[in-house]
Structure 1
């Protein structure tokens, strides 16, 4: 095995580990952003559904993305078991495991729309169907040689493929499940069902931020030329700009230095740069992150006014910022980087509207497909499952830790103490 090839494979395995570790970030982010009575459920279902997604991806997901087929879907390489290596590039198993981690992230994003009100059985069934019928199709269109790849769509690490796909499935879930008890009043105003631990939320964002260097940097698939360092640079700048912009705009609009909005701004900057990280100059990465941080605040307000209950802000962070990130390459892609990584230069570099049109087409069709299929799946599940996909009112008020698992994530804080036992006085 040649030394450079060995390093390439090692780097991608390290990147896989970083992306898998992002699940820990999502556990902290989602648990911290919701109420204590659901924390154990959130942590447990994340691990369980990642396990489900892994097996489904092995069985059919990878084949639907990268198998030989047509412009719509791949139709080979099911139950993947290849170890192909010829001294250059990646071993087949290394590429597979890296791609698996992306599929699991998309599913976890989708589950943001289920938070605090869906049955565990709904998570299980949807995990199978999303991992087989939704994510692989969009991924094939863009990354597997499908029709959007043929048009030259630019999505380096997944603003559309991963983040928008997951967010649109989350939107379908919020609509089918309806808002949590107590979220909205009869007059349309909303109540803040505050998360129980902002420290967890902040730590979750930091874990995700670190994992993103595997997410974006690993998508270089190698170390030759050290281009992963450039990708890391644009990723870091966009995240920083997003956090600052979100804090400034929420302070200006509300008079409060709101921590959750700032944290979502950092994530929005990361989501936005994910598509364009390998296509844009550092100054453009700052602009992309700034705009991501600004729009995430307005998106959060917009969805709240529309009475869409999104506890984890998946629609704002991964959906709206994912759309912006995808379109941004159509504005900012430099000629040299576009030539190196695929597609055409952006509008601001004399590329005209061509690449922007491709980006708009890709993000529109991919988003509509993910939403429509997820909505149909969830509506059918809600009809055929006994009692539907939402827990009962009594179970929701009790908390999913107890109603779905029989124990609290914080037993010392949540469990009712037993009455003290005293001995009867002797006669």
Structure 2
């Protein structure tokens, strides 16, 4: 028995000795600090891991949207989401990244032209032998604190998020190829121009505009593009009765919607956490921890607040409103989760949820049909979060800068999107025919059904009044 226990005892003793040395001699671990190359590795790895997590948000949007529409349109939602992600990946690689992060011309737009990755220094490092490796690594480190390839990957998944917002708002009536054409321009040109003004170091960045992870740059951009599309494409057949009343359109599968929101919530930790843009020091690690805590607090506050206010605003305690409250809280805190204190994070998320819930009612009153509540959750909450970044942190001293950024981005994105949607509608038509809409896009455009064993839900216009 003693001989069988000896290996385990040796391992335990070795581990204990290592722990004692670590505690007694902390200078051994920390005196030298983190080397530059080590920080480069951690930063790059952080971008790749967080980027993969944000990519998972595409699945969340797919679940949220497919559960919100009628069953006869669920397959089209799946196709649109995997299609938009693919288009975003190609458009941002060949065009968008350079427009956003190239040499910014006049503070407004990056260098037009194809993007070539990896950088010359990174290629040289990969091709270098043992003797040249150190010199090649030095050249890479001189370029920046992380790999250019990892930066592109992380930024690309943000672009796809903006396009996903448009997909949900226009569900059940926008043509597949019309949507894909709009997505190409949105991800290849519109979003990168907005990014060049801000994260790319353009004129808004020079003014001091603050948007940590994209309440306005990502979410409001998607919201403005969606709003323009909603106006041009119009509401679903039968959504608004002739007398002006609204016909309720409950989600076909609230379980799938809930799963989608949980996936989005999970992915948002990568969305905001990765926007720290560094994980090479103790300060970076602490800051990232604060970001994740504030992100979770804002989302939780959004859920509870939305459930509480849904009864006086919507006339019932509404689960769908609570789920949108989570998204609104997440969008709201995205502008400044890094230096917002915890109590203010709760307030930001709660107010965002109130704005979102009231926004759902507002859209119905002005006869705008938003299937998933994308505009209230992303546009309205995004505007609030961007303004709150100045109110809570700088006592409102930066309020005018934030307001200028919101207005400039809003006018640009909405105007260009509206014109683009109009051009698409005048040429290839942005909307499916009434026949296809009644039949469902799954059967009408794809020749399939998501749930062939089930009876389809009634059409909205089946009992037109």
Distance 1:21 1:181 in 2: 32
Q: Secondary structure at the match of 1:266?
A: helix
Please say if residues 69 and 76 of structure 1, whose CA atoms lie closer than 8 Å, have aligned partners that are also in contact: no
The unaligned stretches of length 5 or more in structure 1 are: 334-344, 416-427
Secondary structure (helix, strand or coil) at the match of 1:2 reads: helix
Aligned residue runs from structure 1 range 210-221, under 5 A: 210-221=266-277
Q: Which residue of 2 aligns with 1:296?
A: 356
1:269 aligns with 2:325: no
Query: 1: CA distance between counterparts of 2:297 and 2:352?
Result: 12
C-alpha contact 1:41 1:405 (8 A) present in aligned 2: yes
Q: Which residue pairs with 1:308 in the alignment?
A: 368
Q: Quick check: 2:102–2:111 contact (8 Å CA) kept in 1?
A: yes
> Which runs of structure 2 are paired with 1:352-367 in the superposition (5 Å)?
352=397, 355-367=398-410
Give unpaired runs (5+ residues) of structure 2.
1-35, 123-139, 457-465
1:169-211, Cα deviation, whole Å (9 max, x unpaired): 0001111111101100111111112210001111100000000
Q: What aligned pairs does 1:221-240 form with structure 2 within 5 A after superposition?
A: 221-223=277-279, 224=281, 225=283, 226=285, 227-240=287-300
For residue 370 of structure 1, what is the aligned residue in structure 2? 413
1:73 and 2:122 aligned: no
| In structure 2, C-alpha distance between the alignment counterparts of 1:276 and 1:107, rounded to whole Å | 22
Partner in structure 1 of residue 28 of structure 2:
none
Does the aligned pair in 2 maintain the 1:40–1:410 contact within 8 Å? no
**Counterpart for residue 82 of structure 1:** 118
Structure 1: 4+ residue segments shifted above 3 A: 252-255
Q: CA deviation at 1:111?
A: 1.9
Using the alignment, how far apart are the partners of 2:367 and 2:212 within structure 1? 33
Residues 313, 358 of structure 2: 8 Å contact kept = no
> 1:113–1:170: 8 Å Cα contact kept in structure 2?
yes
User: 2:23 aligns to what?
Assistant: none
Matching residue within 435, 447, 452 for 1:411:
452
Paired residues, number = 396
TM-score by length of 1: 0.90
1:146-185 superposed matches below 5 A: 146-185=202-241
| 1:237–1:289 Cα contact (<8 Å) kept | yes
Q: Is the CA contact 1:37–1:414 (under 8 Å) kept in the aligned structure 2?
A: no
Q: Is the 8 A contact 2:299 2:327 kept in 1?
A: yes
Aligned counterpart, 2:434: 393
- 1:95 counterpart = 2:131: no
Q: Determine the C-alpha separation between the residues in 1 that align with 2:288 and 2:204.
A: 25
1:59 aligns with 2:94: yes
Q: Residue 32 in 1 paired to residue 67 in 2?
A: yes
TM-score (norm 2): 0.83
The answer to whether the Cα contact below 8 Å between 1:329 and 1:346 also exists between their aligned partners in 2 is no
How much is the aligned-residue C-alpha RMSD, in angstroms? 1.4
